[in-house]
Structure 1
Amino acid sequence: MQGNASSPLNSTSLPTPLPPNTTADINATVKPFSVFEGCEHQVEGILFDLTVQSINVVMGIPANLTALAILIRSRKNPSTSDIFLGCLAFMDFYFGTMTPFSFLNFYYWHSKAVWSALKFSYGVKDTSGPLFLSCICLDRFVAVIFPVQFGQFKPIKYRLSLSVLVLCLTFAYSAAKTVGGLPNFEKVFTVQILVAFSWMMLCNVCVLWALKKSRGAGKDEMHPMKKKAFKMVLSLLCIIVFNYLPPVALFPFQDHYSPEVFRCYVQPVGFAFVNISSTIQPIVYLSRLEKLPFLPNTCVQKCCNCLSAKKHKISPVQISST
């Protein structure tokens, strides 16, 4: 129910198009806004997307706040991608905080002003995720494939400039979505997601291939730093495929669906996979950390001791011999 409305939706006579990030204007003078408008008998896709948004509130908001806190604490010794990760975590946190307002406006407020704010947040989610992930992929690609040039572009000013550019594009897209009524505006997201998905896949596959070949003759083990980079890029690739492949595979063929099916089923389910990235991305980032800085060392040691005890169980013979 999120994202851009299909072209048939832009010409529909319904006063309140269903998808929350649709670009069509809302005629607030007709009848109260309803989340199920036009899909009263086809609510499964909408409920699926609402469930995903609830997961973002319960798990995504704490995970993104934790990721932001860790990135801020490590600012004295940051990695080159930290600024992109921080912007991505903040945008996902913002998107998650808007979900309760979405529920309240759907069922109680029916406010046009709140609806405009919600459309802006959906525009932020549509754009910031793919673009900042593309920046992270670009950073890893240059670092592995062109290490000499990477050293020349290592100063933070280059990443700050790129982040500002992405934020400007994000806010411009979100403002246009909020205003609505622009001809063929729904095609912008389709083109954007296709280009970003292709770029991210190309970067990550090239990086994984280069790291795999860098073992050298007769070496079975990868260098620890390269192994860490390999795991990071592999996790990025899994996120990209899981979250962005469904809309990439479905949205370009919207003309093959009826307007009702696309609006009530295809669009909500496709954008639900995009929206759940607000939870998956910070959790994957936190899972790659060797230790959470807010977790006491004693807790970490106890967990490690428990895991090692389970892994290396002592046999009765060894106990009797002591």
Structure 2
Amino acid sequence: MERNVSSPLILTFFSTQLPLNTTADINATVKPFSVFDGCDHQVEGIYFDLTLQCINIVVGIPANLLVIAILIHNRKEPTTSDIFLGCLAFMDAYFSAMTPVSFLNLHHWQSKAVWSAIKFSYGVKDTSGPLFLSCICLDRFVAVLFPIMFGQLKHIKYRLNLSMLVFCLTFAYSGAKVVGGLPNFEKVFTGEILAAFTWMAVCNVCILRALKKSRGAGKNEMHPMKQKAFKMVLSILYIIVFNYLPPVVLFPFEDYYSPDVFRCYVQPVGFAFLNISSTIQPLVYLSRLEKVPFLSDTCVKKCCTCVSAENNKTPPIHDPPA
């Protein structure tokens, strides 16, 4: 299963150049170029994916840059998950910025080198999002269920090391995706997304249950700090269900679809939900803030209608410094 193989952003397969002295009897016939890669008459799923990627350009890039600016602005009072949030926002902004390049390469350049860079960005999106969200879930999981251990592991060096590990895994996967030709490589993403989805879902459910049980006897309201953690974990749970559940449900059943249906409909639609997370993730983060720096309250209310009035009444509460 190759990522977005049916998207119009995906050019036809480039054959590796053979040595001039080869003696093998090889059919050198090259398939005619098609921007739809065999899906010329089944373009609905492709256009669905493209529409969501256009939203990433208009909304996702500014939202992710704003998240990075806010994290830098709040660097004196950081939360332990800020480094993961910043890396995730940076990767999402990078992926969103590659969409115009894809359009230009599709309709103008048609360059193999540019296509390799675009394919690398798809590998980054495939890997960095699930892994960094998993890191955020791990951070919250330890903080809520093992507070003593969390206090011992609160130093930023642990999160820096974990972030470097994620970057190494991301670049290794993306590089292998660009090289191509690896046997059963398409199953790597299926295994990764299934493992990440399972971990994040189980982790968040455990956190939510623990936070609900932590209310004092006879008290109906949760401690403000725990209430903030509850809302953060709940928002992550919404993200993983909306953005990651479709590919988790669809991709393992590849053999039940005909090759054309899977390539032209199932894959583009499944990845479209994954791609739009580059917009949803920063918007969810911004909607949880009591006050958004650099923006007026009127602008915030217009852009983030999901911000509740109750949040505006609650005084800002920060996690302990990392």
Report TM bin, short chain. Answer: 0.7 to 0.9
d(CA) in 2 for partners of 1:119 and 1:291? 38
d(CA) in 2 for partners of 1:298 and 1:235? 23
Of residues 4, 20, 28, the one that matches 2:2 is 4
Indicate whether 1:102 and 2:90 are aligned: no
SS of residue in 1 equivalent to 2:161: helix
Counterpart of 1:84? 84
Deviation at 1:277, TM superposition (A): 0.2
Q: How many residues align?
A: 291
1:123-158 Cα deviation digits (max 9, x unpaired)? 000000000000000000000000000000000000
Q: Percentage identity across aligned positions?
A: 75
**Amino acid paired to 2:2:** N
d(CA) in 1 for partners of 2:54 and 2:161? 34
Deviation at 1:235, TM superposition (A): 0.4
Deviation at 1:230, TM superposition (A): 0.5
Indicate whether 1:163 and 2:151 are aligned: no
Q: Which deviates more, 161-170 or 209-218?
A: 209-218
Deviation at 1:56, TM superposition (A): 0.2
1:162-202 Cα deviation digits (max 9, x unpaired)? 00000000000000000111110000000000000000001
Using the size of structure 1 for normalisation, the TM-score is 0.85
Counterpart of 2:236? 236
1:48-101 Cα deviation digits (max 9, x unpaired)? 001111000000000000000001111121100000000000000000000001
SS of residue in 2 equivalent to 1:76: coil
Counterpart of 1:125? 125
Is the CA contact 2:53–2:276 (under 8 Å) kept in the aligned structure 1?
Answer: yes
Counterpart of 2:248? 248
Counterpart of 1:314? none
Structure 1 segments of 4 or more deviating over 4 A? 19-25, 296-301
SS of residue in 1 equivalent to 2:263: helix
d(CA) in 2 for partners of 1:73 and 1:222? 29
SS of residue in 1 equivalent to 2:220: coil
Deviation at 1:25, TM superposition (A): 4.7
SS of residue in 1 equivalent to 2:122: helix
Q: Which deviates more, 17-26 or 270-279?
A: 17-26
d(CA) in 2 for partners of 1:169 and 1:133? 14
Structure 1 vs Structure 2 CA RMSD: 2.4
Deviation at 1:5, TM superposition (A): 5.1
Counterpart of 2:93? 93
Is the CA contact 1:18–1:37 (under 8 Å) kept in the aligned structure 2?
Answer: yes
Counterpart of 1:186? 186
Return 5+ residue gaps in structure 2 as ranges. Answer: 17-28, 302-307, 310-322
Is the CA contact 1:145–1:210 (under 8 Å) kept in the aligned structure 2?
Answer: yes
d(CA) in 2 for partners of 1:244 and 1:151? 31
1:8-31 Cα deviation digits (max 9, x unpaired)? xxxxxxxxx534798995239946
1:249-294 Cα deviation digits (max 9, x unpaired)? 0000001111110000000000000000000000000111111111
SS of residue in 2 equivalent to 1:123: helix
SS of residue in 2 equivalent to 1:89: helix
Counterpart of 2:15? 27
Counterpart of 1:200? 200
Matches within 5 A, 1:31-46: 33-46=33-46
Higher helix share: 1
d(CA) in 2 for partners of 1:300 and 1:27? 50
Return 5+ residue gaps in structure 1 as ranges. Answer: 7-16, 302-306, 309-322
**Amino acid paired to 1:174:** S
Is the CA contact 2:6–2:268 (under 8 Å) kept in the aligned structure 1?
Answer: no
Larger radius of gyration: 1
Is the CA contact 2:204–2:233 (under 8 Å) kept in the aligned structure 1?
Answer: yes
Using the size of structure 2 for normalisation, the TM-score is 0.85
